[in-house]
Each structure stands twice: as structure tokens, then as C-alpha cells.
Structure 1
């Protein structure tokens, strides 16, 4: 019970939001901010403490560099100034160690002082369980972590890059002593990039490299302005050891690309990024060989081994070199800290920019069944709270109104993608969007990642194109007392004022989506470009109208929309107001006068639809003229699903000659076939779907339509049919209406029903 009590005590000391957001549960080191804002903390995770500064830096994709605490607790040089170097280069230092029995990432100066004063143990992988276990029993000992111990804590916290001085390795005479540093085996199993000046100069460098090769560790040396044929593996105090390096890197950006590739491929080994000591401090190998030989011989004579061996040899080398080794050691540690910070910064930029990083480095994307190209925004929801007055369902104009205000992450594209992801994560959903390089943009990326979404294609703009905007999008919704939207303001200029289509073709080609969802927040030319790209890769396209004004963009003049059966857009889900705006834009911009449309519409007019349309309009109190608008838009959007809010849904479909619904008796009363055969048109389905239930406990309607489309597309991507999925999509929308969130977190409960419906 004492152990359990101590575990509870330490766990309760952790920030609550880490526990709530799953920071202590997940293990998934892939590419996005999610992977590192919610790093694997299994096992040790229940007691790991991460400082607030480091935690926030990881969550907002800032460069973080891990540092070992043994340079303080067991170092022979004193203060190396590495933390200041990391900060001067724009990074956040994260000193790792065990403080009073608690594994800690981001040790503060007074905590390090305490560890030094109270004689911290030297802790490698093999020692961690012992010292942490004692902590459970109330025995609060400290541990300065070596390279292997620091790698473990860094990976658990989600830190990618670690700066040190020199790596441990195979000791001379290891064929008899079996003295091989745990640093090497740790590199073979822990995915952290270690920036070091090779292995310590008194080790057997040749056998160290061979051992690393056996462990499958990528070893690469910075060129530092030299040609590849001039570069060898660093010799710690010497720029060159004389032993060939397995790989070379041009600069820190290239090193960041290696880390990115390692993660994308899910290769669970570390990387050794070898950074030679600066030339001015280098001690040629010819000068150090004799000193090292003497120091090693003395250690053998005295019978010194294990973790005491390296400190003894280093001290003797310091004495025999008259302090030159100390000067070189200080220089290389500081150089490595600067190098590691630059590597981490390049990696953060790659992750944040997403598209640019993949374009530059040709890093492939995995396949995604659903690609959602749409908006993500910072949402402000304002609910009017003045319903106490009789008939005061809406706020008053030109004055202040009482209300409840909440802030969250939203955006139509984000909501659609999240709904599809939640209802069927196995489908593979990828969001393609943009944010600004600002606080809101960083928060959005972190939020998306924490929800488990793929953010590899969420681009971050820091420089606008000509006349462009780089501020993250924002949306303000004002709802009446009945929770229905009264007024909304949207600042989505980042989507419609920049040129976005560059690189989209590669994203679609690599994602190979079954469905592309594009929302109307993009400018008109981007919308059309995206639909053309998707069609060229045999993807089906869904258009989300977003709003009355923006829905018109699909039908801008000169857009060149293709008609059935080669339609540019396969599906759209407007509400009745967006439907009217789309129809008006199509009419105003001459789309109804095109020959291809006229031919198809003439065939539709031969159908005996009038009585059916009149009956639907009468029974459901709907304007028959609006039903005719649906029919007239079908040649451009052959699957048009009009959302009527609490009144249900109307589904209209243009059918080809081989569509099974033409002979389906269950659908027969809703299917109308032309009296004379048309070479493209087999018929039209027109069906009203009543609401699944009357909802009295409305919390917010924001996001309900987006949820409807996300659930629907998730089913379609599984091979489902619209007629079998509409009611499930309605149920998903109702779930969202009953929550303050823009996408209900309960959508996963629909998964089995969705997959069952999709299999019909």
C-alpha cells in the first residue's frame, strides 16, 4: 500500500491537463505536433515530470534540446553554459535527470544545484528502475543521467534532439573486458538524435563504429565546409579520427531531414549526428595517441573499470595534456549545443510548414482515403442569454446583450475531417489547410494533433504571397436563445487571398484519396484547381458550400465546371439558403446556358417529376421553386443533398443507365426515368428523409452540418451508398447539436452502424 500511495502522490503532482489529454498514455512517434505534444509515457510515464516551459515548447512546436544532467552532477569542467547557448539560438533547453526519485525533464537551476549538493548518483538505463523504485518508497535520491538515461527521458517527453559532448563506446581491450558503453545499445533502440563529437578519444573508435552498425544506428558526420572525401568520423578532441564515417551531412537542415525520414519510416533506432570539434580547438590525433595510451595503461594497472573508468582516464588526459583537452572539451560541447538547436529549429519549421517540407525533401505521404481541403480557424461562440424576456429569442441590435462566450478550434474543413476521423479512424483522414505563424496557428496545430488528426498537410504561412494574408483564420458565431445561428462573422482571408494550389498535385498523388472534400473558404480558382487535380487521380469530390456568399464561388464565371457524367463535383450538402445562392450564381454567370447543361436538363424535363415535387413541397412545407433549383443544379452536382435543419434532408441523384437503383423495388417510388432514352441519363432519384428525432435539448447547432458531411463521406469512403448513410449522418449531426463542441466526441459510438450500413 505504501508503494501505491507513493505512486498516487507523484502522479497527483502532475499537471491535470497532461492526464486529461492523454499525455501519460500514448506511444506514437510519427511526424506531427501531436506525436510530440502527447509523447509516449508508458511505464515511466506515470511518474515523469516535465517542466512547464518544456511542455509548452513541445506542444507549440518550438525547438527543444535535451541535455544530460551528468555534465553538472559529475562533470569535470564546471558550468559549460550550454543552456544559454540553446536559448541564444532560439531553443528551449531541457536538462534531464532524476530529482528526489522523480524522472524530470526540464530541471531548473535550483534543482540542479540541489542534485549537486546532495550527491546525485550517476544513472544509466540499468539504474533508472532502482532509483525511481526507491522513490515510490519515500527514499528520495537524485540521479544525474548519462547519455543512455537522458535518451530514455527525452523520448518519453517527446524531445527529438539531444546535445552532448562525446559518446561512450567500445573501450580498448573490450575483447577481454566486454566493457562497452550502454550509450551504444541505447542508440540501437531509442529514437533520439544525438549530436556529439564522435566517441571519446580514448575509446576504440573502429570497434565503436562497427558496434553501431550492428545496432542499425545511422551515423552521419557534418561536412563543415569540407568535401565528403575529406571527412572522417570525429575523434572527439580531434577533427578527424582517421576512420571513415558511414554518412555525411551538408548542414543542420539536412540533419533535420534525416530525423524526419527516420520518423516517417518508423525506424525505432537513434541517430548519431557527429559534429567535429571546431578546428581552432582540435588536437591532432598524433599528439593525443601517446597521452591516451598512457592514461589507459594506468587505468588497467589500477584495476579501474565500469562507470569509474571514463572519469579516471579523462582526468589523467587533462593532466597529461596540460589542460588542452579541457579547452577542446568545452569548445566541442558548446558547439554541439548550438548545432543541436539549429537542427531542432529546422525540424520544427519542416513540421510546421508541412507542404513546403515535403516538397523540398520529397518525403512521401502515406495513403489517405479521405483528403479534406478546408479551413481551420479559431472559433468564438456567443450564445444569447436573454430568453427570460417574453419572445426575446434573438439579441437586440445596436446594443450590448447578455450572453455566454466560449472559444474553441473550429473551421469547416477541420470539423468535417474530425467528424470523419472520429466515426471511422480506420478510413485514414488527412486535413489539408493553412494557419498563420502566430499564437493561434500554433495552438490550432497542437489542438489538431492532440485529437489524433493527421496534421502533416496543415501548412504554416509566415510570408504572404502578393497581397496575401498570413493571420490565422477566426470565426465568430452569435446564436439566439434557441441556439440557432443569428449572425456570424468570419475572417478567412488567409484562404482566399493567397495562392495555395502549388504542391497540391503531389499531395493528392501520394495520398491517393477515394474522396476529396473541398470547402468554399478557398478562392474560386483554388477550388476548381483542386477538383481538377482530384479527378485526374480518380478521386470523387465533395463540395462543402460553407455559407450563402461563399457557396457561389463554385459557380463563378469562367469556372468551366464539367457536367454529368464527367462532373467536376460529385456531391454537395448545402442548406436551403446555400442552395438558393448556388442556383442564383449558376444562373447569373451563364452556367445554365451551356450546351452540355441544356442537353441533360432537357432529358430531366421529360421525367414525370412535377407531381412528386409538388407532393414533397406540400407535405413538408417546402417551397416547390427550391425543389426545382435542386433539379437544375443536378447536371453539375449529380448527388445533391439539401439539409433542412430540424425538418430532415432531401436527397436528389442523377443516375447513369447502369445504376442499380433503376431496378431497385425498394427505391422505385423515388426513381424517375425519362420517357425517351438519353445517352447519359438513366433517371433521377428524389427522396425526402425525415429527421431521425425531434431534439429539444439543443446546446449548439454550430458544426452540425459539417458533422453530417464528415460522417457521410466516412461511409462513402468505405464503399457505402448514400441512401444507407443519410440517417447515420443525421444521427451524427444530432450528437453534435447536443454538445457545445463543433464535432461531438461521441461519434465513435456510430462506427459499427456506419460500417454495417457501408457493407450493404
Structure 2
């Protein structure tokens, strides 16, 4: 990736950005392999819970595959998941099933896991083999994940709390054997909090605590009603003879510790030891005797490494009888209850932070990614031509500029000659029709709609020095639109006035359209000679933008990519709100092919603030973003991470916010992917309505509004460091499907040619009017009025209905 694609900063900062970029790309590559492949899957329930920031508790699976026989293991698994639900959480049992790393198992999947013979025991080192190889029968492996393996998958899914039985540790005699559990090193590098009953009794507890300290892992024990010095629990026993490094009084205090730890972006985990319930605690001397005997028998049997722990546990069970089995169940259940209560308290902390957030200041740190930072300098965009920003007062008060096509439109409506004929014109022959001529073009239609609803508009476009051009200029005056922004290109340039021919069927649905918009697509010659459009921009349009300083600019995609870049740059220099009207599938993609000097920037420096595509244009934009590698940029990844959505997706949540049919089409998903570049998208979906998807800044009041709450798809609840503007960082995502205000029967449809342009012109006018009045309003406040305007045009024989004048917004 070229350096020009990195977030813009002052030149003195760019070396540091490039260095950080290399590190981030390594991190991103790792995450992509893990979460965007067939090897990793998060269940629908868990995905939705994570997206909604509900308390989720990870549960390991080796306790089922290697700790208890079938069907006892199934009963325990069901019991533990029930305990999580009863205490207000969502359980996420983690395992390998059919060669896939799974976070969250359904009931039938749980049965398959715990009843499968030969299940593997999966730690960090084992994932590649378990997922990449088959068993001797040629089938994919099933496996239970250890604490280490469970932590890895929990973190990938975005889960912070993990409740289990006993922690691995440093084995007795490790000075000779070097036998140290992978659980300890995993705690040193994975930010998940593990709640257990301490390390298993047959391990070396003092050495384990020393090792965890070296790994930078915070360790504490719950007081659980005790006072004075508190021991670390010894798994089967409440006391171990080894003092706890720190003591925690209750779940709320534990949640505050986790919240503080994660807010710093630390990459190590925490271990909270929860003592076994008192009535199940075994006497320490009795357990020590049983452990000594079990270890001696393990050495005699040659049980080493991964085989030692299950061997010793089985021997302890034989020696102590049913008492250790009952104790094991009790301590696991107590840990799951404690872990769920901590997750609930942590969720309360994060929710309170959103509601009671003090006035801004800062960036939001996503717990699963690097911080999102605002570069200190503005976007470094060279000013078009040689013009400088003028400080003189504007000579007119046009508050909306529209930069786009002005065309002569021909609408050909097919008229069947008999009821036996089809509703579609016949190819390769002449067809009877009604042909209407009117003034059109996307830019003109948007400007016309905005003018009718009360805006003072300046249309910036070009016509040729030909008959069509003269007719267009005359028609403009009749429509009440100023011609001050219309540049007549001389005949010597070979420029033709734009024309658009639409062929509609008997139902007035578009069958075929032909457009000649080449007049706006001119670019500089190979020798560097400026085009006629370049000269018009420098001599006419750019000075008008500087002089008038409109609050809003609407730009359509009929321009070349180079000219689009110049319009976006000009708007950025005067801080104008930019709306992008894609025009068509093919032309919409031009924004992802801007010249290197003006790359399409990302929130908070996005050059485009609002886009109004239809469904097919959304897909075209998404494909163009992928093909241009825009979805591989470092700043795109960081922004997407800050949304707070699970990497595996959130199909159920998206379906609830929109509709299952739209999710099947991929429309909401594609809108989310485009949000960093287009922070507000109004997808026009015809009879299905309008889908609004918006990236919200951290200080956006909608994040705290009960009215908008149902439409907040996700929030990023991390703290904002002091000194950073909250308006420059991601706060969440808003998604709402507005139903059509009126579904017009086919018999009442007169023309479909200008309804999208009418919608855009009305919407932008409403936004500009609100800003002029000092009203804090978003696009969602004006979708209905924009749809009403579109319906009027749908019923009109003109591209933009004159009836819009009844909807005065100024």
C-alpha cells in the first residue's frame, strides 16, 4: 500500500505512522485468518449478545471431554449454561466441532461433542493440527479446549469473562521437568479474565504465582466473607497456606478492576480465584496426602506432560471417593455463578459510562483493537487551480451548490396497441410510444427539487454551444434556477450538451436508458493540457464556491474521478457538507478511483458525508471498495473494529434492524463496510423503503437518547482519553429501515426517472434548513418528507413534480 493511502498527517508524523502501519498490518493479517475463514464460527446467539453488549461468559469444554464421563458431562454442561442464564448472562461454550473452532454450541452440538470418542485436548499449540487434519476415520476432529485454547477463541469473539474449574500452573518438580501449563503464558498475552478456584491442588502454587507475576498477570482472591489475611484457594480446599497477592470483596469491585485494566488497552489477562463453597471444602491435610500418593503413582506410570493432569485427577478421585467429585462440581458451579455476576456488573459499568459520559475529550479505545486516533493536521489537499480562499463577503446567498449533469431528457413510454400485446417494447423494431422532452440530468433534477422546496440553489454544470444547450439555458430560467453556474463550452472543444433517453414499458418501469454525459467526463490531455472542464472549474465554479461558501454541496457521479476529487477538495476547504449521488452502478465506483493526491478519506476526515444510492449501487460501491483494496487499509480496519460489532457478523441483529430479505441480499452488511468512507448512507429501496445507516461520533446525542436507542446497532463503550475531541472518534452505529410512506399502485405511476433525485434534493434542503435555523437534526428526521416528495414525482409526468412547492422547507 502506498504511503498516500495512510491517514494524512503533518510530514513530521508520517514516519511514525508508517512504522505503526507495519505493526498494525501484521495484527490485522493475523485477525483476518482467524475470524474470516471456515475455521472459526461464533453462534448466532453469542454474536448478537456481543453486538448488544450483553454479559457473555465463556465456558471451556475439556471439563466435559476429559473430566467427566458421558452422560454426566452432558448434565454438567447443561447445568453450567443454565446457571449463566439464570444469573443474567449468555453462555458461550467453546470447543472444536467437526474441525471448526466454535464459540457457542447449540443443544444438539453439545451432545455431539460430549458423546464423541477420541476428542482431542486443544491448547494454543494444537489449533493448526486439530483444524487442518482429519482423524483416522477421515473425519474432522472434535476437541475440548483447555483454559489456554478457550481464552484465545473467547478473545477473538470479543468475550472478556471466562469461568472454569481450576487453573493450570507450574508442576511440582518443574525445576527438573520444565513442566509449566500453557494457561499461564496465555494469561500473559490474552486480555481475558479467568475466574477459577485457583490452580489445581497437585501443582506448585508458590511457583505458579511467581510465574504469573513474571507474565504481568494480575492475580487476586475473593474474600468470600473472610476477613484478615486471605489465602489463595487450593482448588478442593478454601485455604492453601499461600497468601493471595490481592483481595477482592465482591463482583462489583472485580468489574471495576477489569474495566480499568481493559481501558488501558493492556494485552495481558487477569486471574480471580474464587474459593470452593465452604460446605464442599475438603481438609487440606487429607488432600495433600491424596495428592502425594497420586503424584507418586503418576511418576511410576510414566504419565508426563499433558497426560499427567488427567491421570492425577483420576487417582485423586479413586483415593477420595465421591467427595472430590462432588467438590469438583460445586466449585465449577460457584465459579460460573461468580463469573456471570462479574460480567453483569461489567456491563452495568459500560452502560453507565455511555449514559453519564462527561463532555468529550478523547478517542475511544476498542477493547479488541488498537486505539483510533485523530491526526493532528487537516487533510492535506492541494487547492484546485491557483485560487486562494477569499475572505470577501459572498455576493449571493446560495446555501446549496449542486455539481452535476444538466441534460435534455427524452422519455419514451411504450403504448401497446392491443390487450394481447406484452407490456414490454419489442426489440429490433419500431414501437408505438409517447415521447416527452424535458430538462433533466441528475444535477438539474436535484437542484430543481431543492429549489421547489425552498432552497436557494446554485447549479454548477456545463452545456455545449449547440441547439440543445441553448434550449437548456432557456428552460432553466423558466424553472426558476439561476444560470450563473452553467458554463457554455465552446464548439471547438467538441463538447455536446448531455442527453438522456429513457425507454419505459407500459407500466412506466425503465426498460433501457441511453445517456451521453461525456461533456462532464473530460480530463486533461496526455501532455497535461487542461480540459475544458478543468478550465471551467478554475475560472468559474471554484471561485463561486469560495465566494458563496454554501453549507451543503451535492455532487453527482457524472464527473470524471479527477473532477470529482476537485469538487470534494473544494468543499473540504470551506467545511461544506457533501452529499454524493451515485447516478448509476458503473459511475458510482468513481469515488474509489480518485487520484493519489486526493484519496477518499475515512471518518473523521471523510470527504463525503452522505450518500444516496439505490440497492444495486450499494453493491457496486462495495465491490469497487473491495477491488481497489480500500477494505484493506489500516484506517478502515481500525474504524470497523471501533464499531463494536463481532467480527463474525450479527445476522440476527441486522435482520431485526432491517429485514431478513435485505440481509439475504447483503445490503445492511455492505452499508456497514462502506461506513468509514461514507459515514451516512440512505439506501433507496423502492417499495421496501429507505435504509439509513450512520456512523455516530462519540459525542453524538443519539447514543444517549431513549428515542433512538432501538436503532443503535452497536456502541463502543471504551473511555475517551483526556484532550481528544469526541467528535473525531467512533461512538457507534445507527441503522433504521424506514418503510415507504406510500406504495403507489402501478396504474398511478407516471414516471420513475426523477424520483431518486427528488429524494436527494429534498433531503439535503431539509438538512440545510435545519442547520440555518440552528436545529440539531439528522437525516433520519427528514426521510419521510423526502419520500413524500419522491412519491409526488412518481405520479408526475415531469422528472421532478411541480407539486413539491407545497412542501416548503424554508
Instruction: Give the TM-score taking structure 1 as reference length.
Output: 0.49
Structure of higher RCO (CA pairs closer than 8 Å, 6+ residues apart): 2
